[in-house]
Amino acid sequence: MGSFFGTLFLGIFGLTAGIFVGCLVMSLAETLKALPVISRRIHLAVGLQYMIISIAAGKLIGCLTYFWNGFGAQK
């Protein structure tokens, strides 16, 4: 009986982890798809790598601020 519940839990966990990874990959793909559009609209000829680094740094700072201030903690 315990093996059945373990297998069931493993299947549910695998499904939810797969959904999470899929959503993460799609959000990354959307960000990468938007970069050429942004660079054309602001007429960016040089410095695209700096724009990518600044976007990544902003996401990192936002994530660290979110978790260090306890906003992600459940009450």
Specify the higher pLDDT residue, 30 or 13: 13
3-state SS class at 12: helix
pTM value is: 0.50
Q: What letter represents residue 36's amino acid? A: P
In the chain, what are the domain boundaries? Answer: 1-44, 45-75
Average pLDDT, whole number, for the chain? 83
pLDDT in tens, 17-52: 999 998 888 888 887 788 788 778 888 778 778 888
The percent of residues in the chain predicted with pLDDT above 70, rounded, is 92
Dihedral angle over CA of 72, 35, 56, 26, nearest 10: 40
